[in-house]
A and B are shown apart, each in its own frame.
Chain A
Amino acid sequence: MARLWAVIKREYLERVRTKWFIFATVFAPLLMTALLILPIWLIGKSGGTSDLSRIWILDASGVGLGARVRSELSGGLMAADTSHAQVVVVSPAKLAQAESTSTHAVMRKETNGYLVLGPRILDDTIARYAGRNASALIDVQRVGEAVRREVLAMRLEQVGVDAEKVISLTRAKRLDLQTEQIGDRGREGSGMVKYFFSFAIAFLLYTSILVYGQTVLRSVLEEKQTRVAEVVISSISTDTLLAGKVLGVGAVGLTQQILWVIMTLVLTKAREPVMRAMHLPSTPIEIPSISPFVLALLMLFFFLGFILYSALFAAVGAMVNTDQEAQQAQQPFMLLLVATVILIQPVLLNPTTKLAIGASIFPFSAPILMPVRLSLMSVPWWQLAASLASMLVMIVVAIWLASRIYRVGLLMYGKRPTLREVARWVRRA
């Protein structure tokens, strides 16, 4: 056991110490976060929110809506200086002319943009905004919000609600409206988010199994190429070496994933404060809640899938002498992985089909597709059990095969063996 531990320790520490591991582990989540925040931040930057004070409000409503919108705009969270926001009261007939004048004003940079409040705005709620910052999400959001709120208030006043009540009502109403919106978007979005989330899990599992499976292959090949293998197996059995290698590299993969999960959780928590600190509106992202049990299952599936594939990759590493040969010899197993990836989409769209059930039980696709289904629905326990059982059986077979190929192949140099020769190794070992 002490020897196995020595091998595991070496494989683990030598990999975790590398700059590449630290980079991938720490910077991948940071990069993701940056990708989530940066675009919004850049939009915010280019929009120039303070310029909201330099817009014109063409008010053809005839009820003084423009002035109310201006004061509403000045009272927002990011109180912009509205002293320069001009309200131009126009008659409906002259609105078109005022608009073209304003367009020219924008072109001459006298103003940043203009808001058009039409004559029938209280009935059909159509307001228009045109300006240099029309694509600035935040500005448009704020203007829209202000108009909506004031229109609502005026409507209430029109039906005879008194001014003080209007304020309290619109505040309440506003809250109401927002929750409703979020609820709506949330329901719609939640479906999308869950879909992407499952896809992300599948992709993460696929890349992890691929990357760490190939790490095992390279590790075997390195020992073979540098001839370290001979010293090592004069001290310990090839089985111990193989087991230590697979477990050590697998532990590296698990470490990385656990760190990613933790960092994702922390970053999601920290996202809103960060966005607020940067004066950015945070559109909430909902991460589907995953129970610790399912999370543990996901890890288990990763680990079993990794062991299955890495045993096979180890056998490939022992069969070949060069990286080029390895590229060729690993094709059959790569094909199994790629076939699994092709199935991700159909399973995502409907995780209850016979294909989905079958693929999530088939040992070579189970490590990726069962977690996909688990993240989308509650999978019947018998399917879960069947999936785990089939993987365990295949793992035993793969390890049996791999350790035999490994034992003979590790000291075989020269020509790459044919399939028949490999079969002889397996029989003879």
Chain B
Amino acid sequence: MTENAIEIRNVSKRYAGHVAVRDLSLLVPRGAVYGLLGPNGAGKTTTIRMLLDIIEPDTGTISVLGGSTRDRRVLDRVGYLPEERGLYRKMQVRRILKFLAELKGVRGSDADRRIVEWMERLALRTPEKDWGLSKVDELSRGMQQKVQFIGALLHDPDLVILDEPFSGLDPVNAQAMKDTVVDLKKRNKTVIFSTHLMDNAERLCDSVCIIARGEKVLDGKVSDVKASHGERSVALALDGDMTPAVRAVLADRSLVTRIDDSNRYYELELTPGADSHALLRRLVEAGAPIRRFERVQPSLHQIFLDRVGAGARAPGEDTWTPGVEAGMVGHG
């Protein structure tokens, strides 16, 4: 038994014309909630597919749960929610779930019991309505996603791989998903998920890896990653609208090199050498209705933009850097 649930060493994968993953090495500790972050086309899905032996790496080695991905018994202990979701449209929900469980070697009676448990837990089976008897076609998109999520967990896997688990979920379902992830962690399961949503990653993950253009940008524990990016960030919240005078203070490059404007909330990066007290004083002088002014560690979001967006956002600028897509800015 190794310490790590996943060990990826020097893995590369080329497709005709481009490199999807370049010399990637990753260690995911057992029992961790691990976030794989990166813009679209960064190689997240390719990496995940290699973990599941859906595609083979050109070079490098991958070990999952201490074994080879070639070993079907290893894969039986892995649960997978793909990014591209899909179920047999005309099939009854319960039958699909049973089929998915059987593919993982779960016995019929066990499968039936677990299906009921999970369906009740995720509100797909209530006293009024049992969606398990409906065809997939009749379910809403969110419900289908929950069904597929259940399908990934029915065999009680030790390692759960979720590709973009939060995309397309409403707040209630997203919360249910988060609760489940936390619960898996409590039961000492390893969860690895990819996401665009930095807030989710920051709240949920023990460790993260940011990859872009097929290469690892950084990885490590979330606390370490944030600490290593210093405390040059200031969280600022105002009561009411920003006045031109306040805006002028924030546009002063001798104080602030970067501003992430979320309308009511601002994350500022201090210019090296600048004093936060000086900034606070200037803001008060400008008459800013300050509700919160706090020196904070940079958010993952900010770090992500720093490292992947190549420092591309100047203060007051409202457009995102190419290659970093809008999905990442969600503060949900």
Interface residues, chain A, CB within 8 Å of chain B? 2-3, 6-7, 10, 14, 222-223, 225-228, 230-237, 411
A231 to B53, CA, bound (A): 12
Q: Is the CB of A234 within 8 A of B75?
A: yes
Would you list 18 pairs from A and B whose C-beta atoms are within 8 A, ordered by A residue?
Answer: A2-B102, A3-B102, A10-B95, A14-B90, A223-B88, A226-B87, A226-B88, A230-B49, A230-B86, A231-B148, A231-B152, A234-B52, A234-B78, A234-B80, A236-B72, A237-B72, A411-B49, A411-B54
A6 to B84, CA, bound (A): 23
A sample of 7 more A-B contacts (CB under 8 A), given A227-B86, A231-B152, A235-B103, is A6-B103, A7-B103, A226-B86, A230-B49, A230-B82, A233-B54, A234-B54
Q: Is the CB of B88 within 8 A of A222?
A: yes
A173 to B124, CA, bound (A): 80
**Minimum Cβ distance to chain B for residue A27 (Å):** 21
**Minimum Cβ distance to chain B for residue A235 (Å):** 4
| B89 on the A face (CB < 8 A) | yes
| B104 on the A face (CB < 8 A) | yes
**Minimum Cβ distance to chain A for residue B163 (Å):** 9
Closest B residue to A14 by CB, please name it: B91
State whether A228 and B88 are in contact (beta carbons under 8 Å apart), knowing that A234-B54, A234-B75, A234-B82 are contacts in the complex.
yes
Binary CB contact string for chain B from 147 to 178 against chain A (1 if under 8 A, 0 otherwise)? 01001100000000000000000000000000
Q: Is the CB of A6 within 8 A of B102?
A: yes
Binary CB contact string for chain B from 192 to 205 against chain A (1 if under 8 A, 0 otherwise)? 00000000000000
Q: Is the CB of B54 within 8 A of A14?
A: no
A223 to B151, CA, bound (A): 16
Interface size on B, residues (CB 8 A): 29
Chain B residues closer than 8 Å to A237, beta-carbon distance? 72
Chain A residues closer than 8 Å to B100, beta-carbon distance? 231, 235
Q: 4 tightest A-B contacts by CB? A: A227-B86, A226-B86, A6-B102, A227-B84
A19 to B100, CA, bound (A): 24
Closest B residue to A222 by CB, please name it: B88
| B316 on the A face (CB < 8 A) | no
| B284 on the A face (CB < 8 A) | no
A181 to B86, CA, bound (A): 66
Chain B residues closer than 8 Å to A222, beta-carbon distance? 88-89
Closest B residue to A226 by CB, please name it: B86
A6 to B111, CA, bound (A): 13
Residues 130-161 of B at the A interface (beta carbon under 8 Å): 148, 151-152
Chain A residues closer than 8 Å to B84, beta-carbon distance? 227, 230
A122 to B152, CA, bound (A): 91
A6 to B99, CA, bound (A): 7
Contact partner of B75 (CB less than 8 A), chosen from A2, A10, A228, A235, is A235
Chain B residues closer than 8 Å to A2, beta-carbon distance? 102, 105
**Minimum Cβ distance to chain B for residue A317 (Å):** 15
Closest B residue to A227 by CB, please name it: B86
A237 to B103, CA, bound (A): 10
Residues 95-120 of B at the A interface (beta carbon under 8 Å): 95, 99-100, 102-105
Closest A residue to B104 by CB, please name it: A235
A7 to B151, CA, bound (A): 16
Closest A residue to B99 by CB, please name it: A10
**Minimum Cβ distance to chain B for residue A265 (Å):** 33
| B85 on the A face (CB < 8 A) | yes
| B55 on the A face (CB < 8 A) | yes
**Minimum Cβ distance to chain B for residue A8 (Å):** 11
**Minimum Cβ distance to chain A for residue B136 (Å):** 9
Closest A residue to B161 by CB, please name it: A234
Chain B residues closer than 8 Å to A223, beta-carbon distance? 88
A125 to B300, CA, bound (A): 109
Chain B residues closer than 8 Å to A226, beta-carbon distance? 86-89
Chain A residues closer than 8 Å to B151, beta-carbon distance? 231
**Minimum Cβ distance to chain A for residue B297 (Å):** 36
A2 to B148, CA, bound (A): 22
Chain A residues closer than 8 Å to B148, beta-carbon distance? 231
**Minimum Cβ distance to chain B for residue A227 (Å):** 3
Chain A residues closer than 8 Å to B53, beta-carbon distance? 234
A60 to B275, CA, bound (A): 137
Chain B residues closer than 8 Å to A10, beta-carbon distance? 95, 99
**Minimum Cβ distance to chain B for residue A241 (Å):** 9
Closest B residue to A233 by CB, please name it: B54
State whether A3 and B87 are in contact (beta carbons under 8 Å apart), knowing that A231-B151, A233-B54, A234-B82 are contacts in the complex.
no
A354 to B152, CA, bound (A): 58
Residues 60-84 of B at the A interface (beta carbon under 8 Å): 72, 75-76, 78, 80, 82, 84
State whether A14 and B88 are in contact (beta carbons under 8 Å apart), knowing that A231-B80, A231-B82 are contacts in the complex.
yes
Q: Is the CB of A230 within 8 A of B54?
A: yes
A225 to B87, CA, bound (A): 10
A10 to B88, CA, bound (A): 11
Residue among B76, B90, B99 having the largest count of chain A Cβ atoms under 10 Å:
B99
Closest B residue to A229 by CB, please name it: B86
**Minimum Cβ distance to chain B for residue A225 (Å):** 8
**Minimum Cβ distance to chain A for residue B230 (Å):** 40
**Minimum Cβ distance to chain A for residue B139 (Å):** 13
**Minimum Cβ distance to chain A for residue B278 (Å):** 54
**Minimum Cβ distance to chain B for residue A10 (Å):** 5
**Minimum Cβ distance to chain A for residue B190 (Å):** 16
Chain B residues closer than 8 Å to A232, beta-carbon distance? 103
**Minimum Cβ distance to chain B for residue A422 (Å):** 13
Chain B residues closer than 8 Å to A234, beta-carbon distance? 52-54, 75, 78, 80, 82
A237 to B80, CA, bound (A): 15
Chain A residues closer than 8 Å to B95, beta-carbon distance? 10, 14
Q: Is the CB of B85 within 8 A of A227?
A: yes
Q: Is the CB of A236 within 8 A of B103?
A: yes
**Minimum Cβ distance to chain B for residue A9 (Å):** 8
**Minimum Cβ distance to chain A for residue B68 (Å):** 14
Q: Is the CB of B103 within 8 A of A228?
A: no
**Minimum Cβ distance to chain B for residue A380 (Å):** 47
A10 to B80, CA, bound (A): 20
Closest A residue to B85 by CB, please name it: A227
A346 to B152, CA, bound (A): 56
